């Protein structure tokens, strides 16, 4: 498969959340760098490496109703080949209450465009004193 | 107060964990950029801005026994003025069991050296299938 070319971090991010909502494994697999990437799902340890990270998304997608996700980028720290976004996510599945999640998404520019290299997501507990950037 | 000059991301990181273990507010205040920084404590929402982030550390330090923290940097994604580290932390307080935490720490280079601009920490649940980079 020839990977699509993403020309900005925001473009990768938009495609990431679309793929997440549609439980679209092929698109999710297209936007991560085939490198030493890191993914932390809420409450979990670090999954390291493209193949293991992809296996985790396949597992999530095989068990999930397609979720509805609202996301808001609260902070961008970008330079010419590295970008860090702090994102508030509100994730709702059919019938259930929405979960509020905070994510740090990291993108890196390679010769063939921008790719995701890290997604670190954590659940915001209802009793939390912090806020969700909104 | 003249802020100390930190010449690498690793130097800021070492001082961050020393300050955390000693509950040393002055040192913690010296290593964050006085800018639009973001801090996510485990289970919490995002705290945004230097003053609110410092208030959160003052609160943590006022309530805490000095913790013992082992930390291991599992992944560095660095370029000349931005650095993202994924760090496994094992935090133990007197008498209690250790907590396993994963952190994404982000450092940025300013005219006067490197500073922390983000700390995103999340608790790894005991039942987690992921691992802690160790």
ipTM of the complex: 0.92
- pLDDT of B1 reads 59
CA dist B42 and B26 (Å) reads 22
B36: closest CA of chain A, how far (Å)? 8
Vertex B73: Cα angle to A87 and A27 (nearest 5): 40
- pLDDT band of residue B65 (cuts 50, 70, 90) is confident
Give start and end residues of each alpha helix (H) in chain B.
Answer: 9-22, 25-31, 50-63
Contact B106 A88 (CB under 8 A): no
Judge whether B42 is closer than 8 Å to chain A, CB to CB: yes
Contact B48 A75 (CB under 8 A): yes
The count of residues in chain B is: 134
> Are the C-beta atoms of residues A108 and B77 closer than 8 Å to each other?
yes
Look up residue B7 and give its DSSP letter. Answer: -
Best residue in A9, A39, A40 for a mutation probing chain B (most B CBs within 10 Å)? A40
- pLDDT band of residue B134 (cuts 50, 70, 90) is very low
In chain B, which residues have their Cβ closer than 8 Å to the Cβ of A88? 45-46
- pLDDT of B130 reads 53
- Mean pLDDT over B84-100 rounds to 91
**Number of neighbouring beta carbons within 10 Å of residue A74:** 18
Taking only residues 13 to 32 of chain B, the set having a beta carbon closer than 8 angstroms to any beta carbon of chain A reads: none
Q: pTM to 2 decimals?
A: 0.93
CA dist A121 and A105 (Å) reads 8
The 10s digit of each residue's pLDDT in A33-50 is 999 999 999 999 999 999
Q: What percent of chain B has pLDDT over 90?
A: 83
For residue A119, give the chain B residue with the closest CA: B104
What are the structure tokens assigned to B70, written together? 């082992």
B123: closest CA of chain A, how far (Å)? 6
The 10s digit of each residue's pLDDT in A56-106 is 999 999 987 899 999 999 999 999 999 999 999 999 987 778 999 999 999
Helix (H, G, I), strand (E, B) or coil at A51: helix
Beta bridge partners of residue A123, listed in sequence order = A101
Judge whether A113 is closer than 8 Å to chain B, CB to CB: no
In chain A, which residues have their Cβ closer than 8 Å to the Cβ of B88? 46
CA dist B94 and B90 (Å) reads 13
| pLDDT at residue B20 tops 60 | yes
| pLDDT at residue A127 tops 70 | no
Is the model more confident about B116 or about A94? B116
Look up residue A131 and give its DSSP letter. Answer: B
The position carrying tokens 């923290």 is: B69
Contact A74 B45 (CB under 8 A): no
Distances (CA, A) of A23 to A90, A91, A104, B114: 16, 13, 20, 39
Under 8 Å CB pairs connecting chains A and B tally to 137
Q: How much of chain A is in helix, strand and coil states, percent to nearest 5? A: 25, 40, 35
What backbone phi and psi angles, to 5 degrees, belong to A78? Answer: -120, 145
What backbone phi and psi angles, to 5 degrees, belong to A121? Answer: -115, 140
- pLDDT of A134 reads 43
Arithmetic mean of pLDDT over chain B: 92
- pLDDT of B3 reads 77
Is the model more confident about B56 or about A95? B56
The 10s digit of each residue's pLDDT in A19-38 is 999 999 999 999 999 999 99
């Amino acid at each position: 498969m020839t990977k699509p070319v993403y020309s900005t971090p925001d473009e990768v991010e938009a495609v990431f959340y679309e793929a997440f909502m549609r439980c679209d494994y092929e698109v999710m697999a297209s936007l991560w760098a085939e490198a030493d990437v890191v993914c932390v799902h809420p409450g979990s340890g670090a999954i390291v490496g493209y193949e293991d990270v992809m296996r985790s998304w396949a597992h999530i997608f095989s068990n999930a109703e397609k979720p509805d996700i609202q996301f808001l980028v609260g902070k961008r720290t970008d330079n010419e080949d590295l970008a860090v976004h702090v994102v508030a996510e509100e994730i709702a599945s059919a019938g259930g209450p929405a979960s509020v999640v905070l994510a740090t998404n990291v993108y890196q520019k390679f010769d063939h465009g921008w790719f995701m290299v890290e997604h670190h997501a954590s659940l915001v507990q209802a009793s939390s004193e912090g806020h969700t950037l909104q």
